[in-house]
């Protein structure tokens, strides 16, 4: 082979390699499972009793009687979930609901219950969520997961008490379906520079049924189903949002929701 022919062959080979590489990169379409973590599974802890009447300075967001503090996330119409017998139940067709009030830093208490006769498995079993700041329509924002994690395996960064696809809970303190669960959450909102870049990230501390599950963890950005989290939606104050997940299992319920605003 002449030098010229050799160079030509090498060129074709390099070009071919380049095509293969480019194809591989283009072919790497992000998938949900890219960001799932399955191990190690947090230890199971059986919680003690929990009781949390609102303290005197709390803003009560749901006291069992009405949804005056809430709207549908997408159309801002009166919240379309169901209130009966002192309990708020997800109405999946209505979509997510969120508070009319907006917040920066706060302490939040809420209680939630997976139906006794829950069906489904994995992420399709009692999926809901609490968006600690709702930054837009749909699921935009920062979600701590609500799910039936009582003897229901899924990726651990998507189980109950996870900061969705970012932080695995320190323990699985889940009560069985039909029993009330409590979340007590401290939210430190992200702050932003004047140009919209991130100044300080968000932090979460959370207790599930009185058991510490997140200890001042730093968030990497908004929680996403697909792809890597990022801080790309600066906000000042934001509503708290509850998720109407589209999974086909029976809808879950909430009660006793209150919040205490904290200084900046």
Distance CA 39, CA 62 (A): 36
Q: Which is nearer to Mg ion, 62 or 131 (CB)?
A: 131
Give min distance, CB of 30 to Mg ion, in A.
Answer: 19
Residue of closest CB approach to Mg ion: 129
* Angstrom distance (rounded) from CA 79 to CA 100: 10
**Residues near Mg ion (CB under 5 A):** 127, 129, 243
Least Å distance between CB 91 and Mg ion?
16
Q: How far is the CB of 145 from Mg ion (least distance, A)?
A: 5
- For Mg ion, give the closer residue by CB, 4 or 93: 93
d(C-alpha 214, C-alpha 149), whole Å = 16
Report, in Å, the least distance between residue 15 CB and Mg ion.
Answer: 46
The nearer residue to Mg ion, 127 or 172, going by C-beta atoms, is 127
Three-state SS letters, 181-216: EEEEEEEECCEECCCCCEEECCEEEEEECCEEEEEE
Cα–Cα distance, 26 to 231 (Å, whole number) = 24
Cβ nearer to Mg ion, comparing 95 with 104 = 95
């Amino acid at each position: 082979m002449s030098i010229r022919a050799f160079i030509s062959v090498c060129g074709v080979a390099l070009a071919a390699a380049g095509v293969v590489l480019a194809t591989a990169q283009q072919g790497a379409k992000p998938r949900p499972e890219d960001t799932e973590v399955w191990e190690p599974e947090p230890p199971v802890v059986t919680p003690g009793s929990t009781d949390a009447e609102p303290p005197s300075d709390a803003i009560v967001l749901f006291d069992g009687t009405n949804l005056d503090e809430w709207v549908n996330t997408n159309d801002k119409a009166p919240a379309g979930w169901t209130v009966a017998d002192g309990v708020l139940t997800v109405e999946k067709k209505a979509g997510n609901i969120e508070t009319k009030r907006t917040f920066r830093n706060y302490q939040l208490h809420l209680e939630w219950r997976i139906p006794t006769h829950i069906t489904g498995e994995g992420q399709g079993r009692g999926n809901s969520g609490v968006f600690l700041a709702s930054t837009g329509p749909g699921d935009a924002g920062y979600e701590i997961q609500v799910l039936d994690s009582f003897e229901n395996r899924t990726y651990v960064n998507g189980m109950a008490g996870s900061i969705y696809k970012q932080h695995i809970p320190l323990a699985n303190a889940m009560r069985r379906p039909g029993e009330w669960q409590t979340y007590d959450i401290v939210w430190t909102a992200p702050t932003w520079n004047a140009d919209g870049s991130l100044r300080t990230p968000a932090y979460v501390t959370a207790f599930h049924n009185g058991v510490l599950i997140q200890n001042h963890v730093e968030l990497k950005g908004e929680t996403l189903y697909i792809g890597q989290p990022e801080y790309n939606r600066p906000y000042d104050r934001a509503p708290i949002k509850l998720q109407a997940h589209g999974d086909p299992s029976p809808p879950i319920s909430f009660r006793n929701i209150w919040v205490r605003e904290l200084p900046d």
